[in-house]
Structure 1
Amino acid sequence: MLGRLSWLALEVKYLDRARTFYEERLGLTVREDRDGELALGAGETDLVLRRPEGYPRGGLHTHFAFSIPEAEYDDWWDRLGEAYDLEEARFGPARSLYLYDPDGNCVELGQQDVAGPGIDGIFEVVLEVEDLDRARSFYEDLGFETVDEGADRKRVRLQGPMALELWEPHLGIADARGGVHVDLGFETDDPGAALDAVRDRVRSIDREDEESVVVRDPDGHVLTFRSG
């Protein structure tokens, strides 16, 4: 039902500081420099950095994962390890490193089957939710599929345009937390059909027209379904 992830928006206090981290440390390129926000390219997805000056706000303490080519992992570790206290996790044969940006978001760089060079997409986003079953049902009706459940029953992993982790409040790897009031944009062939699938459970409908629909999910995360 939903196509690719178009954007993930983060709330930042100081645009210059956040831009330095993502542009100079992580090698992202600024695509748009708008009043109060920046959009940087992460493969086909925009990472939006947004000042807290209106709505929708970007996500706070959001844990998300960038895709990097497998062969580049050691170079990234060596480069970032000079300035940051990194943590590593393994998922089968794949490795991921974790660090924090200046605004407290937990940034993961994980080995994925991507061309690169450098960061080439966002493959995971973590949302904090109040009721795990309610949130899972909502996102399954948007076409996501449950692929894993945490043994502690505090998280569930779904797969769709990217991996979507739904967490009840807790600390994960590298003491990461799920994001609150996260802003996600998706391309879809039929924004109205996406809305109809969850219309009875959204917190609000902020926009509805033929080209795009903007809703807030039951936990207040902002979702945009846009024709593409």
Structure 2
Amino acid sequence: MLTGLAWLGLEAKSLASARKFYEDTLEMTVRSERDGELAIEAGKSDLRIRRPTAVPRGGLHTHYALSIPADTYDDWWDRLEAEYDLEEAQFGSTRSLYLYDPDGNCVELGQSDVDGPGIDGIFEVVLEVESLERAESLYAELGFETVDRGDRRTRVRMDGPIALELWEPHLGIADARGGVHVDLGFETEDPKATGEAIADRVARLEFRGEGDAETAVARDFDGHHLTFAPSENS
């Protein structure tokens, strides 16, 4: 049903500070800046970092993961450890490092099968939810598949266009928290059908635009905003 992640929205108090972190520290490219929002290229997706002046605001204290070529991991660690209190985790044969951006988002750089150079995609987002059962049901309807459950039954991991971690409130690796009022944009071949499929599982749903430009915009019961836009090849 979903073909890709178009964007992840984050909230920032200062766009200048956010820009310095993502452009200078993480060497990411700012695609555009307008109306109090930065669009930062992350592979085929964007980080949309915005001032809290409208709804959706963008996520607070969101833990999310960026893909880096596996053979560049040590270089990233060596460059970042002088300025940041890094943490590391091992997942099978791959490693991830963790640091925080100026607005308290926990940013993971994980070894991935990507070409690069540099950061080349968003592969995971963590959402804080009140009820795992309710949230899991919603995202399963969107085509995500449950692949793991935490030992304490406070989290569920689901695979789809990206990995989604659904967390009841708790602290994870590097004291990360799940994001609140996170704004996610997904690509889909049929936005109207996608929206209609979850109409009874969300708090609000509206359709915008017409024809090939039509999008579906939903807010789930945990306050996360989900936009479904036409895929580029649909």
Residue identity matched to 2:188: T
Query: What's the CA shift string for 1:155-191, capped at 9, x where partnerless?
Result: 0000000000000000000000000000000110001
**For 2:41 and 2:57, how far apart are their aligned partners in 1?**
19
* 2:35 is aligned with 1:32: no
Residue identity matched to 1:218: F
- Counterpart in the other structure of 1:42: 42
- Counterpart in the other structure of 1:155: 155
Q: How does 1:50-65 map to 2 (within 5 A)?
A: 50-65=50-65
Unaligned runs of 5+ in 1: none
- Counterpart in the other structure of 1:217: 220
**For 2:189 and 2:207, how far apart are their aligned partners in 1?**
17
* 2:138 is aligned with 1:138: yes
TM-score by length of 2: 0.96
Q: What percent identity do the matched residue pairs reach?
A: 68
Q: Is the Cα contact below 8 Å between 1:12 and 1:52 reproduced in 2?
A: yes
How far apart are 1:196 and its partner, in Å?
1.6
**For 1:198 and 1:189, how far apart are their aligned partners in 2?**
15
**For 1:107 and 1:50, how far apart are their aligned partners in 2?**
17
Q: How does 1:1-12 map to 2 (within 5 A)?
A: 1-12=1-12
Q: Is the Cα contact below 8 Å between 2:208 and 2:216 reproduced in 1?
A: yes
Q: Is the Cα contact below 8 Å between 1:181 and 1:220 reproduced in 2?
A: yes
TM-score by length of 1: 0.98
How far apart are 1:58 and its partner, in Å?
0.4
- Counterpart in the other structure of 1:192: 192
Q: Is the Cα contact below 8 Å between 1:206 and 1:216 reproduced in 2?
A: no
How far apart are 1:197 and its partner, in Å?
1.5
Aligned to 1:33, what secondary structure does the other structure show? Answer: strand
* 2:204 is aligned with 1:201: no
- Counterpart in the other structure of 1:125: 125
Q: Is the Cα contact below 8 Å between 2:192 and 2:207 reproduced in 1?
A: no
Q: Does 13-22 or 206-215 show the bigger shift?
A: 206-215
Unaligned runs of 5+ in 2: none
Residue identity matched to 1:59: G
How far apart are 1:113 and its partner, in Å?
0.3
**For 1:134 and 1:204, how far apart are their aligned partners in 2?**
15
**For 2:78 and 2:174, how far apart are their aligned partners in 1?**
18
